[in-house]
Amino acid sequence: MKTPQERVRIFDTTLRDGEQSPGFTMSAAQKIAFAHALADLGVDVIEAGFPNSSPADFGAVQTIAREVRGASIAGLARCHAGDIEACARALSEAAAPRIHVFISTSPLHREHKLGMSRQQVVEHAIMGVELARSHVDDVEFSAEDAFRTEREFLVEVFEAAIAAGARTVNVPDTVGYATPEEIRDLFRYLRANVKGADGVVFSAHCHNDLGLAVANSLAAIEGGARQVECTINGIGERAGNAALEELVMAMKVRGGWYGVDTGIDTPKLLDTSRLLSRITGIQVQRNKAIVGANAFAHESGIHQHGMLKHRGTYEIMHPQDVGWAESQLVLGRHSGRAAVADRLRALGHVLDDARLDAVIADAKALTQTQHVVSDLDLLRLLDGDPSGGGWRITAMSLIDEGQHTRARIELSDPGDLHVAQEAQGDGPIAALFAALARATGVDFELESYEVHSMGIGRDARGEANLSARIGGEALAGQGTSRDVLEASAIAWLAVANQVLRSHASQRIAAFA
């Protein structure tokens, strides 16, 4: 069993550092919903905001403090009396409140930002910590731009903050300038030279300007840090913060190396990441570690062959450990015979060598115009039905009506049944999806929707990808066309056809 000293606290600042970055602003209601998700995930501290920055931020922090349990709730404050008093009021109903005070300490910041001497910085730090301690027991002190601060002055400031009552001291690499070796050495130096270091928790807050935030945070842990400050999906100022999901899984997968663990309920990582994407409207890149669409996806024939023999050949963790249902063998240009045959068997088709070779050749040809070959594509290649056993688009049109858009969609199915429906929406996509829902009788809430260009010049095509969660099951659809609206409709219909086939299978099973 691990000792308490080997537990690393997870301090999540998605709602403060993450939310204040361009493109990630959240409403008060969204911040409250996400705070509940963070508490459910198992983070130790939720930095809910900067209460004195705006009435909206104050109100959000206040509501989170009142409603959210299971984690400490922190508010950020400069070493200014007004900031600290605002924090105290906002956190007054929290079960476990923390006031997080900070002041810049580097020569650059002292001269150009604060206009203060070393002594003045120390005096403000002491005042900030003492005032915060008069309101709450749990006070964290941060030396902003600590990495570019003189080491002997950092020791002086931290000793003063600890003597004033700080229980956590944070060492931020505010501008993402450090390397792992330097960060590890700095934490070891501070823990060896700061009086009172044994009685406080040292914390790391690393930015990602050089792409080293996670590596630096892990190095800080090796140097003795027992709190890491991070964000879901790595959002934050400029290039972002250390990504919580990457840090947590690095500690979990490489526990034998780091000798530490966290209290995070890791199977909830994917859902928490997706919730943030839905709230902000900004998706993570496909190759993002842990939560990206490709994190447990394999297209290369060599890799797929290895995965079919033993999952451990190309995966170092179970997808279920972070919330994915399973690994994916994606059929694309680089896929091999074994993966295609395996996918066809899963769909109920065992082919002889000649027929399998023909399907593989057709699938390879298909990848010249689209990235991946879906199950629907395989079924089409088997029996010539373009819809793969479901509805297909025969015609669509959009009319701009000023404030709204009207979409008309015509569909047909393999039995030659035809339907046509119209719907109005706030834009072409909303109208198109509403018309499709009416025509098919299927409706669902999107989890994500992305459109991007494939190829360049005259051969370029639009590719749409969307995902939805229906009855606890995650479904995804993809569409490719020279027209991005048609690609979007094809992707939506791919999901709808999966739902309809599932319903049909359930009816057949019930009848049998």
pLDDT value, residue 307: 80
Which tokens is 166 given? Answer: 């700080």
Confidence of residue 371 (pLDDT cuts 50, 70, 90): low
Q: What are phi and psi of 142, to 5 degrees?
A: -120, 135
Q: What is the CATH number of the domain that holds 444?
A: 3.30.160.270
Q: Which residues contact 75 (CB under 8 A, 6 or more apart)?
A: 47, 48, 49, 50, 51, 61, 65, 86, 87, 90, 91, 97, 98, 99, 100
Q: Tell me whether residue 290 is in a domain.
A: no
Residues 145 and 262 in one domain: yes
Q: Does an H or E element contain 238, and which? A: none
Confidence of residue 409 (pLDDT cuts 50, 70, 90): very high
Mean pLDDT rounded to a whole number for the chain: 89
Which tokens is 63 given? Answer: 């509501």
Burial per residue of 167-195, b for 16 or more beta-carbon CB atoms within 10 angstroms, e otherwise: bbbbbbbbbbebebeebbebbeebeeebe
Of 384, 392, 382, the C-alpha closest to 419 is 392
Residue 407 has pLDDT above 80, yes or no: yes
- Tens-digit pLDDT profile for residues 206-221: 999 999 999 999 999 9
Q: Tell me whether residue 69 is in a domain.
A: yes
Q: Tell me whether residue 29 is in a domain.
A: yes
| End-of-domain residue from the set 383, 402, 432 | 383
Residues 82 and 174 in one domain: yes
Of 311, 369, 373, the C-alpha closest to 336 is 373
pLDDT value, residue 207: 98
Choose between 374 and 73: higher pLDDT. Answer: 73
Separation between Cα atoms, residue 483 and residue 432, nearest integer Å: 13
Q: Residue 57: what residue type?
A: D
- Tens-digit pLDDT profile for residues 153-207: 999 999 999 999 999 999 999 999 999 999 999 999 999 999 999 999 999 999 9
Q: DSSP alpha helices (H): ranges in 134-243?
A: 151-164, 180-193, 213-222
Separation between Cα atoms, residue 250 and residue 296, nearest integer Å: 16
Is there a contact between 47 and 244 (Cβ–Cβ < 8 Å)? no
Q: What is the distance of C-alpha 23 from the center of its chain?
A: 14
Residues 463 and 367 in one domain: no
Q: Is 422 exposed, middle or buried (0-12, 13-18, 19+ CB in 10 A)?
A: middle
Residues 253 and 302 in one domain: no
Q: Tell me whether residue 3 is in a domain.
A: no
| End-of-domain residue from the set 280, 308, 333 | 280
Of 425, 449, 504, the C-alpha closest to 274 is 449
Residues 260 and 332 in one domain: no
Q: Tell me whether residue 2 is in a domain.
A: no
Q: Is 123 exposed, middle or buried (0-12, 13-18, 19+ CB in 10 A)?
A: middle
Residues 377 and 413 in one domain: no
Q: Tell me whether residue 200 is in a domain.
A: yes
Confidence of residue 383 (pLDDT cuts 50, 70, 90): low
pLDDT value, residue 3: 46
Q: What is the CATH number of the domain that holds 90?
A: 3.20.20.70
Which tokens is 293 given? Answer: 């669409």
Q: Tell me whether residue 25 is in a domain.
A: yes
Residues 441 and 404 in one domain: yes
Confidence of residue 332 (pLDDT cuts 50, 70, 90): confident
* Angle 243-1-325 from CA coordinates, rounded to 5°: 45
Of 481, 477, 428, the C-alpha closest to 454 is 481
Is there a contact between 273 and 467 (Cβ–Cβ < 8 Å)? no
Confidence of residue 509 (pLDDT cuts 50, 70, 90): very low
Q: What is the mean pLDDT of residues 224-231?
A: 98
Domain count, the chain: 3
Choose between 359 and 46: higher pLDDT. Answer: 46
Confidence of residue 43 (pLDDT cuts 50, 70, 90): very high
Residues 178 and 309 in one domain: no
Residues 408 and 379 in one domain: no
Q: 394: how many CB neighbours lie within 10 A of its CB? A: 12
Q: Tell me whether residue 286 is in a domain.
A: no
- Domain range for 238 is 8-280
pLDDT value, residue 512: 45
Of 498, 506, 464, the C-alpha closest to 482 is 464
Across the beta sheet with 446-454, the strand order is 446-454, 461-470, 473-481
Q: How many helices (H) and strands (E) does the chain have?
A: 17, 18
Region of poorest pLDDT, from 51-65, 89-103, 128-142, 402-416: 402-416
pLDDT value, residue 97: 98
| End-of-domain residue from the set 341, 363, 383 | 383
pLDDT value, residue 511: 46
Separation between Cα atoms, residue 313 and residue 293, nearest integer Å: 20
Q: What is the mean pLDDT of residues 306-327?
A: 88
pLDDT value, residue 374: 67
Most confident of 223-232, 319-328, 397-406: 223-232
Residue 1 has pLDDT above 50, yes or no: no
Q: What are phi and psi of 141, to 5 degrees?
A: -115, 130
Residues 254 and 302 in one domain: no
Residues 62 and 207 in one domain: yes
pLDDT value, residue 384: 53
Residues 310 and 369 in one domain: yes
Percent of the chain with pLDDT over 70: 91
pLDDT value, residue 503: 67
